Chain A
Amino acid sequence: MALKIVKGSIDRMFDKNLQDLVRGIRNHKEDEAKYISTCIDEIKQELKQDNIAVKSNAVCKLTYLQMLGYDVSWAAFNIVEVMSSSKFTYKRIGYLAASQCFHESTDVIMLTTNQIRKDLSSPNQYDTGVALTGLSCFVTPDLARDLANDIMTLMSHTKPYIRKKAVLIMYKVFLKYPESLRPAFPRMKEKLEDPDPGVQSAAVNVICELARRNPKNYLSLAPLFFKLMTSSTNNWVLIKIIKLFGALTPLEPRLGKKLIEPLTNLIHSRILLCLSSVAVLISLSSGMPNHSASIQVMKYLGLLAMSKILKTHPKSVQSHKDLILQCLDDKDESIRLRALDLLYGMVSKKNLMEIVKKLMLHVDKAEGTTYRDELLTKIIDICSQSNYQYITNFEWYISILVELTRLEGTRHGHLIASQMLDVAIRVKAIRAFAVAQMATLLDNAHLLTGNTQHNGICEVLYAAAWICGEFSEHLEDPMATLEAMLRPKVATLPGHIQAVYVQNAAKLFSTVLRGQEGAPADSKVAQETSQLLIDRLPVFVQSANLEVQERASCILQLVKYIQKLQQKDVEVAEEVTALFAGELNPVAPKAQKKVPVPEGLDLDAWINEPPSGSESEDEGRKTKTKGKAVFAKEESRHTKPRYTEVDEKELAKRREVRKAEQANNPFYIKASPSSQKVYQEAVGVEHIPVVQIDLSVPLKVPGMPMSDQYVKQEEERREKNKADRKKKDKKKRREKGRQRRGDSGPESEEDITPAHMVDIVTEEMPETALYTIPCLFPSQKSSKHKKKKQKKEEKDKKKKKHQHHHHHSDGAGDESVQNGTVEEEEPLPVSKQSPFILSTQSNPCPLDIQVCDIQGNLHDGSQVVVSVIFENKCDSFIKSMEFNVMDSLNSKLQRPEGAGPHDSLTVPFQLPPGISNEARFIFSMQSIVMPQKLKGTLTFIVKVSWSCSPQSTHIPHYPNQIEVYLSRVPNTTGVDLTIKCLLTGSNQQYLLLRHPCNICPLCMCPCPSQADQTVSIDAKCDEPGLLGNVLDEIKLTFSQC
């Protein structure tokens, strides 16, 4: 009876093998999960049996369930049991299951070590084979270490089947246990010459893969590989070897010459040939309506190869531009994506518009959002690469961006938005246009937001609102835009956009007010505007978003207050505008690097002492003993050089990376000069395609610009330029009577002049740097202002309460020289040794004078305000100070009306002992390019308590500049140092020169290291005269110190 039950249950279980399970699952389509869970229960029962056949059957089913996504790791131990069966059938099932579900963190793996070792040495080659196959999937570092020797023995097994597998698995072992590489390598090398082609190919496979990571170590194998390559007929082996040679050749030119040169030439010619044949293929196939898949494959591979060649031989690929553009029309997305990748490297100023226009057509046609988004990012990438290098017309670019906003459901709204902001901020000339476009966008905001909440494109409104607000002076109808921004529907936008809306509504409000108050009759209108804000803002005050709420309530209160004032007929526009005065400037990404580390801040120091480590303790102690000040000083001296070092290191690193990339690229072949030349010559003017402009494309949103029109404009402009140039050429030709075809033929990139300039700010100093004082010159046409001034002052002293006159004792007379710099900041030399040299008399000067600031005048670009600090250093009262600077050709001290050209200015204060005060003097300048020196006099009366007869002894005084010296050597020679602020103290080591309109024509960063007496200065300037003068000054200054 009992036997019967047992037998019955066994039967039942045996009914369900893998096929039954699969069939059962297929029959239970509705409740598959439930069925499988009962099966798993059965499997658990089966696993508890002692019979290995039952267990292996269960494990086999588990393997299947694992593929369906069920976790079977709970059966890991049973799998190990089945693996250790002596029967090949079960063993194979066990190893298969293990290879499917074991991984490095499976803990039972360590139980398998001995079993695997036993299997590896089994007399049955298939036992060994199965163990090797399984091991290749779940080898761990421990297993690799323990079994490396056994596997190495197997590499010389009599059966090629085993040898092959053993060789291949060694790669895995090397990865997990790199120490095994050294002892195993000689044997691996032997296997390259194994009589069995399978083993040989496995060895090639492994060594190529190793060499790909680190080609240098495998150079010695090159002859062997060369032999293999000529003898082998196996395609796999050939592909691998050729890839390997691709990695080896750049490393060893000698070898390359000897052995590989014929080969390289062969491959090289083949690649070029291949390139053109691929091009032919692509053109052929795109002409045929029904191309077969194999041609598609070729096309794909061709494009892939081109993208690799593009990195090294851009010219040769560029000549196939038309074909690549055709590939964009391909119906296969993979091919289109590849072609897009290629486009990035092919744009130039000439063809950018054309290419982008083509892409825009595709954007319209593209059906899948993924591909469309890809297109969108590519368009923006292409246009914005290298600081908008290829864009000649920014109005066109803005229009493109605006057109892109019409894409529904794109994820890249923020990308478009950031581009809009970037362009509007950096390209000044475009602002008016951009603002007009953005206003239209805001007006049509409902088109963008559509119905979907998470529509990415509404990000664009963020940019639009900000641009309209920030540059509201360019708005034609600020009132309309203000209204558009305060529509109730705005409250449905995401919070961060609303916040920008609210803030910029306030900016707009100030602009509107100013406009309205300008006309006196409109005070009513102004009040209505305030009322509008008061009506609309409460919606935002109730916003759930904290940022919106906060800004809205703040502005609401402000507007209420303004309204109150307005009702009293107070003009408020000026004050409201002042809220948003000033200009935001772009900051270069590297700007942070230029901010010096503040004194006393040690970025490398631990905030909390590390728990242990004798070295760091030592260092810490040193620091302590030296004292903080000393340490800080040292720090500041070292920081600068370190920056440059980092740069060099970075460069070197990048170079390395690039080399490595080329080295790893099997398709990279060194250029032979001849082939390149051929392609260069091919790019002549004849090859520039003439684009037909299709203007029939209808406008989609009324009032929105069509980017196409710019394409046409651009063409015209270019035509004109070309025509002009041709005329000139002709003339020249006639004059010279020579053929000048060579030079005038191709239209070079440089000839295309951009319509707008971009501010390239990569080198610009950050606005936030402590020591910079932003120059506020309103840009006057394109003139640059520089000012540097020098003033000299003279002082006099008298012991008695007398008044002294100062003369310029310098023979140079009054001709002042101004050093041209755009702006200078000068750190004040606070040292006791003031830059002023006082008199030569033994008596110290009672008055210390320093120029502390030179600024452009906000209201008038030709004016410079010089601030001078007067400090009384004696014990007496100083009064009646009069300041005078002789006018020069270039500069003039501004005097009150009615004063003669030589009258002095009275300093409007008196100085009690020990007190300092600041006075400002205004100079008007003619030119800022030339260095200038100013000389001046200062007279004052010192009240001395002891009585004495007034002596009017005249003491000659040296005119001294206020400039800072390079060193603290008192400047008694009368040398005029006109560069300000070249390092005096330990931390005043900057010379900052900036342009009035923030374009930064000049930017310097001296890195003086006092230790080795060398100073390097990097300067950048778009005004050669200025740069030359400044550099001369610097040189002079340094040579004298």
Chain B
Amino acid sequence: MATLTVNRPPQGGFSFENCRRNALIEGEANKVGCSLPSARKTGTTICGIVFKGGVVLGADTRATEGMVVADKNCSKIHYISPNIYCCGAGTAADTEMTTQLISSNLELHALSTGRLPRVATANRMLKQMLFRYQGYIGAALVLGGIDCNGPHLYSIYPHGSTDKLPYVTMGSGSLAAMAVFEDRYKPDMEEEEAKQLVRDAIAAGIFNDLGSGSNIDLCVISKSKVDYLRPHDEANKKGVRTGDYKYKRGTTGVLTKVVAPLDLEVVEETIQTMDTS
């Protein structure tokens, strides 16, 4: 042996080295009155599947900002072209702007070629842009659509690599969703079967991943139509409160009552309608 100490390769599995130290720190912190920060997870569950006659894209609807849910019902399935839609995971702003940019460029491209855009074109545009930014644009996308060559599904990673597969999942809940897919995927499924499978995969992500939640959105793209089902499944309905914290009238006893009328004159009345479109 040439070395003095044997080089220990990094071991897998949980490392229990820091548990005693953490316990000590927790004790110290509690003495002062503060608590240790708890584990935080953020993310999403998005997935797509190719079935007989098209693709089904699915997404959850939770948007998180650190530990807080920023939006309980945000839309993660973005429009690219009439026959192509894209689910986005990662930084919300990045996915939003990237898909909008490519959607705009693709529309111009389609006008220039005079043809319906192909999914492979959208894939190339997205991957070339993400590669150019070397992974700093945090957009992980599931791109699906149907064109003259049939239905196609791509997964696109932030660094610019893409995979063309019959079923893909992305986001923090992707492992849970992929488990469902690996169990029940069959080639050439019917539309209803595919929708049910995607719904179940997203549900697995929602219930087993802290970063995913709320409802399930689905987008079914086929030759003749696009069904944007939002929400397809309200997996997490807001519960009905069983208790009431309001006090009954008469709980507070009234001692005296003084009524003083105010003489007000209407000087000017203007109406400004809110733009609720």
Do A and B associate with each other? no
Which B positions have Cβ atoms within 8 angstroms of A? Answer: none
Which A positions have Cβ atoms within 8 angstroms of B? Answer: none
